Amino acid sequence: MASAATETGHAAVVPAAELAPEQEAALLLRLYALAFADAPAPEPSAAPRAAQAEVAAAAVAVLARIDAHPRYTPRRPQLLPQLTRAINDPDAGVQAIAAILGQDPALAGNLLRIANSSAYRRQAEPVENLERAVALLGTEGLRQLVLAALLQPVIADDGSAFGRCAALLWEHTLLSAKAMARDAEDAARADASAAQLLALLYGLGAVAVVQVLRDAYARHPGVLPDPDLVADMLATWSAPCAKAISADWGLSSRMQRALEEQGDAVALQPGDALARALRRQRALAAGDRLALYERQRDAEAR
């Protein structure tokens, strides 16, 4: 098992453009363990190891049949087809997109939260209403936020390590999705929204893994979460869970294949351009988040 918990310190974060696939995987493992950096470490004795194995087995039993556990997999949003058509239509302006958003107050609220997140915020003052968001973001900015707002998962803000982990992973997802869309636009490709959707789906898969692990540990009171186990489970099961969600939503075979190629079993394969772009942008976003963590820790130590 990779020792991710011990790697969240001051190890240099190499630019993702220079990373081999094995280094990308190691960087992502460090990110997965970050939420547990300040949590008590589990005991290394045989009894706790056996308990950790029981937790892992229980989680795997659910993850292997994640499609049979709808509480962990979000349903396809009803507005997804309508919004996807709008953001892919070059003639659709901000008013048309805003009108669709206005059909769902929760969706509009999600968009405002994301507009004020570290991934997207552009000004010191918070964006407090949809009209202001439309004015500030413009058509292209709004296009980027729409899918992220639509797919925003419900994350329990309970102060637990699992709550922090899910929030951290979704923050990482937003950064990855933004970079995927930007890269596609810079390359003048027609799949900017598909690239962004791919990153968001992977993030939904990762959040599902965290929720399954949270419940598995809850059924074993007294067993502390093992950051290495959590990191390995995320590395192994996020892609299959994301693929299951994409299949349930009836998305294209290319999207499903690109998600499948994020899994560790094929991590060293070149994959198609969309799959490789996602893996690279996930590693780049992980490096950025880890570097921020190290700067914050240095500042606190002074």
Chosen domain end from 134, 152, 170:
152
If asked whether residues 116 and 200 sit together in one domain, one would say no
If asked whether residues 59 and 202 sit together in one domain, one would say yes
If asked whether residues 121 and 177 sit together in one domain, one would say no
Chosen domain end from 104, 119, 152:
152
Q: How many CB atoms lie within 10 A of CB 16?
A: 20
If asked whether residues 171 and 267 sit together in one domain, one would say yes
If asked whether residues 245 and 226 sit together in one domain, one would say yes
For 125, the domain range is 75-152
Question: CA-to-CA distance for 251 and 255, rounded, in angstroms?
Answer: 7
pLDDT value of position 138: 72
Question: CA-to-CA distance for 239 and 259, rounded, in angstroms?
Answer: 6
If asked whether residues 168 and 248 sit together in one domain, one would say yes
Chosen domain end from 132, 152, 172:
152
Of 203, 187, 78, 197, nearest to 143 (Cα)? 197
pLDDT value of position 214: 95
pLDDT value of position 265: 43
Question: CA-to-CA distance for 250 and 44, rounded, in angstroms?
Answer: 44
Contacts of 93 (CB under 8 A, 6+ apart): 139
Question: CA-to-CA distance for 288 and 294, rounded, in angstroms?
Answer: 10
pLDDT value of position 19: 67
If asked whether residues 13 and 52 sit together in one domain, one would say yes
Q: What are phi and psi of 138, to 5 degrees?
A: 70, 180
If asked whether residues 175 and 242 sit together in one domain, one would say yes
Per-residue pLDDT tens, the chain, 302 aa: give them: 444 443 444 344 444 455 677 778 888 888 888 888 777 777 666 668 899 999 999 999 999 999 999 999 888 878 878 877 877 777 877 777 778 877 877 777 877 887 787 767 777 778 787 777 777 777 667 767 777 877 888 787 778 889 999 999 999 999 999 888 888 776 656 577 788 889 999 999 999 999 999 999 999 988 999 999 999 999 999 999 999 999 998 988 988 988 988 875 444 455 578 888 888 889 889 988 898 888 888 888 77
pLDDT value of position 264: 52
Q: How many domains does the chain have?
A: 2
If asked whether residues 238 and 278 sit together in one domain, one would say yes
Q: What is the pTM of this model?
A: 0.81
Alpha-carbon 200 to chain mean position: 6
pLDDT value of position 15: 46
Q: Do residues 216 and 51 touch, judged by C-beta distance below 8 A?
A: no
If asked whether residues 199 and 289 sit together in one domain, one would say yes
Structure tokens at 65: 């049949």
If asked whether residues 128 and 59 sit together in one domain, one would say no
If asked whether residues 129 and 56 sit together in one domain, one would say no
pLDDT value of position 14: 45
To which residue do tokens 């997999």 refer?
A: 73
